[in-house]
Amino acid sequence: MKLIGIGTDIIEVERIGRMIERHGDMFLTRVYTAGEIQYCSPRKAHAQHYAGRWAAKEAVLKTLGTGWARGIQWTDIELLNEYGGKPKIILHNRAAEVAQERGIAEIQISISHCHAYAVAFATAVGE
């Protein structure tokens, strides 16, 4: 496998919690996929889980080398958990097209969060 890009991001959990309080479902459905909402919302520390996914999406954008340019939407990047809890990135729509253009076969992700912060590190690899 060939390393194509790396990205990292850190976010304050409180910032995401405030966005959820202020904007509710409008914020959630703009930023998170139905699968992500289904995973995060029932959790006691849901703001930490949403913040982790926010950081993951930002880290993935850095691996793509685009930022929010080129028509990529928040929900084009989805973080789901495999059996056993391992996080997995799934790209949709424009994010998937950009990844294909850059020769990215997979984006590996690592996420961690505590009461105050969430951090993610992404690695884009190709054949």
Tens-digit pLDDT profile for residues 28-54? 999 999 999 999 999 999 999 999 999
Domain edges within the chain: 2-126
pLDDT of 7 over the 90 cut:
yes
Region 93-122: mean pLDDT is 96
Could you give the percent of the chain with pLDDT greater than 70?
Answer: 100
pLDDT above 80: residue 70:
no
Report the pLDDT value the prediction gives residue 116, as an integer from 0 to 100.
Answer: 97
Average pLDDT, the chain: 95
Chosen CATH of 2-126 out of 3.90.470.20, 1.10.579.10, 3.90.600.10, 3.40.50.2000: 3.90.470.20
Which pTM value belongs to this model?
0.94
Q: Enumerate the β-bridge partners of residue 6.
A: 123
Which band of pLDDT confidence, cut at 50, 70 and 90, is reported for residue 1?
A: confident
Angstrom distance (rounded) from CA 46 to CA 48: 5
| pLDDT attached to residue 44 | 93
| Residues ≥6 apart with Cβ < 8 Å to 55 | 9, 10, 11, 111, 118, 119, 120
Residue 9 confidence (pLDDT): 98
